């Protein structure tokens, strides 16, 4: 069974192929995903690497967590499961409601 790893503190110039080669030293890499900003396309400095087995994932954590890569100390640990709520918060937080649906101000 494959295991997904979180990789943090990445240099913004890190490529998928570099990350795949780095984690390939620890075992078989199933997939690599570097998270980017949806508007600018720039890396957000973290990503996910999927290893083919739990043993290889643990080996990657032991080998690469704290290792300096592109002048940064990597943070590598097992990824947490995805949240079911994509927004991460209350969908009715407030904000601009338009002219006809404004909040009443009370001073």
Per-residue DSSP letters for 56-72? Answer: HHHHHHHHHTT-EETTE
Distance CA 93, CA 68 (A): 40
Q: How far apart are the first and last CA of the chain?
A: 60
pLDDT in the model for residue 3: 94
What is the model's pTM? Answer: 0.76
Best CA proximity match to 45, nearest among 62, 70, 81: 70
pLDDT in the model for residue 82: 79
Q: Which pLDDT band, with edges at 50, 70 and 90, does 1 fall under?
A: confident
Neighbour count for residue 59 (Cβ, 10 Å): 16
Q: Residues 40-72: pLDDT tens digits?
A: 999 999 999 999 999 999 999 999 999 999 999
Record the tokens describing residue 67, joined without a space: 């290792």
The reply to whether CATH 3.30.70.330 applies to domain 3-78 is: yes
Structural domain spans, the chain: 3-78
């Amino acid at each position: 069974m494959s295991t997904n790893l979180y990789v943090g503190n990445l240099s913004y110039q890190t490529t998928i192929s570099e990350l795949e080669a780095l984690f390939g030293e620890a075992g078989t890499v199933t997939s690599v995903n570097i998270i980017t900003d949806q508007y600018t396309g720039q890396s957000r400095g973290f990503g996910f690497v999927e290893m083919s087995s739990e043993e290889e994932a643990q080996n990657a954590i032991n080998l690469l967590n704290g290792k300096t890569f592109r002048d940064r100390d990597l943070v590598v640990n097992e990824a947490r499961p995805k949240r079911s709520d994509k927004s991460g918060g209350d969908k009715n937080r407030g904000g601009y409601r338009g002219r006809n649906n404004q909040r009443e101000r009370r001073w």
